[in-house]
Amino acid sequence: MFHKEGHSLIILFFIVITTDVIMLEMLIDDQSYLKLILQTFSLILFVFILWFFRNPKRNILKNPEIILSPADGKVVLIEEVDEVEFFNEKKIKVSIFLSPLDIHVNRYPVSGKVLYSKYHKGKYLVAWHPKSSDKNERSTIVIENKKFGKIMYRQIAGAVARRVVNYAKVDSFVEQGDDSGFIKFGSRVDIFLSKNCKLKVNVGDKVKGGITIIA
């Protein structure tokens, strides 16, 4: 299964690569290594596109007592920060880096009402850069949850990622683990938690969206 955000790109690449393979067959001698190399590269590129937009079905167990990871990837930073966009108070920030090989579907970490959803234009620093959370192109979402109060997460574009897709709409009610958006080609997701939350992850841990318990 492939994510809907990749359907048009997959079709486009299929047409371009099919045309490329046929043209190479017509224009280059059958014994040419150059033709083989170019065709192989085209097919590898198409396989990568399919791999990147994969969206495997997951058995997500919704639990109001926990906060689930909003993304697949690696925990690269856990720190106390002054969150100034929405809360204007200190929060614990957990940063998850998504490499181009990770599944890039984002998921709601908790169920609740969307209070805030805002897109910000910005730079394209590498996603693991400390300032990428505030300087890069990004979308910030806040969900009000009965148990945990207000939970904020932020989708951040990286040096390669050039499009942040966010499905959260203000005043809508969302379900934990459901598809909340997508970031194309390498990125980062930060989640901001109360200092009273009991973290269940450490820096260096691999996490899965909708599966791994963050807190």
Catalytic site positions: 187
Query: Which residues sit opposite 68 in a β-bridge?
Result: 213
Terminal-residue alpha carbon distance, the chain: 29
Burial of 182 (0-12, 13-18, 19+ CB in 10 A): buried
Map tokens 């043209």 to a residue: 23
CB 125 within 8 A of CB 97: no
Q: What is d(CA 156, CA 123) in angstroms, rounded to the nearest whole number?
A: 10
Three-state secondary-structure class, residue 49: helix
Q: Name 47's Cβ contacts closer than 8 Å, sequence gap at least 6.
A: none
- Shortest CA distance to 55 belongs to which of 123, 118, 106? 106
Evaluated on CA atoms 191, 158, 101, 165, the torsion sign reads: positive
